[in-house]
């Protein structure tokens, strides 16, 4: 048991007989009346987002979850196959549990949130920024760096993202996996 004072982003709670992850929270102390905590919760089973308000100081049931490092091996008919980085145990994760499956590369790392009591995977999170090589895009035009114009580019995982006009084939770029947007060019 915990109280609302211990709420933070990423905390997993048992709420309405389901597991929910805190996406956002805000402690509110109005001038008149009792304080409360406004939260945005994400259901770990179906991905639905719910807004809920807890009275300040009320008890919440936290779930015991562990973040474990895994390496992506391959995708087959059963789902995405991962191997634990320390124990070499393999598990299969369905696509809907992965936050950005289009950015998975063989040998890439991810953190899987595991419910400690039932040993079931809840969420698979990729690192925030990953580097990719542009495999196809229209040729860049010299001098087109002043505008914010974008074009489509295919990266080495097969996903298509929007990049600035000056990016060419064969260049290495960094992508934000949370939004799927171009971040910057990577120079080795």
Share of the chain above pLDDT 70, in %: 95
**Mean pLDDT, the chain, integer:** 88
Predicted model pTM: 0.75
pLDDT in tens, 56-113: 888 999 988 888 999 999 999 989 999 998 999 999 998 888 888 999 989 999 999 8
The pair of three-digit structure tokens given for residue 27, joined into one six-digit string: 């402690």
Closest among 74, 106, 67, 108 to 90, alpha carbons compared: 74
Parallel, antiparallel, or unpaired: how do β-strands 59-62 and 65-76 relate?
A: unpaired
CA dist 138 and 166 (Å) reads: 10
The pair of three-digit structure tokens given for residue 107, joined into one six-digit string: 């040998």
Sheet of 160-164: strand order equals 160-164, 150-155, 129-137, 172-176, 181-185
Tokens 């950015």 -> residue: 103
In this prediction, residues 3-26 reach a mean pLDDT of: 88
CA dist 52 and 156 (Å) reads: 41
Domains and CATH numbers, the chain: 2-62 (2.30.30.30), 65-125 (2.40.50.140), 129-185 (2.40.50.140)
């Amino acid at each position: 048991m915990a109280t609302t004072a211990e709420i933070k982003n990423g905390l997993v709670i048992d709420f309405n007989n389901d597991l929910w992850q805190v996406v956002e929270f805000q402690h509110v102390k109005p001038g008149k009346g009792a304080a409360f905590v406004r939260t945005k919760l994400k259901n770990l089973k179906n991905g639905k987002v719910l807004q809920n308000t807890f009275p300040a100081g009320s008890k919440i049931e936290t779930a015991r979850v562990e973040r474990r490092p895994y390496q992506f091996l391959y995708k087959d008919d059963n789902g995405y196959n991962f191997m634990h980085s320390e124990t070499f145990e393999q598990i299969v994760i369905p696509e809907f549990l992965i936050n950005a499956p289009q950015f998975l590369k063989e040998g890439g790392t991810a953190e899987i949130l595991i419910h400690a009591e039932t040993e079931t995977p809840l969420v698979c999170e990729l690192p925030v920024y990953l580097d990719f090589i542009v495999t196809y895009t229209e040729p860049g035009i010299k001098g087109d760096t002043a505008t914010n114009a974008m074009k489509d580019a295919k990266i080495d995982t097969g996903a298509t993202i929007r990049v600035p006009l000056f990016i060419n084939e064969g260049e290495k770029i960094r992508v934000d996996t949370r939004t799927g947007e171009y971040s910057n060019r990577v120079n080795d």
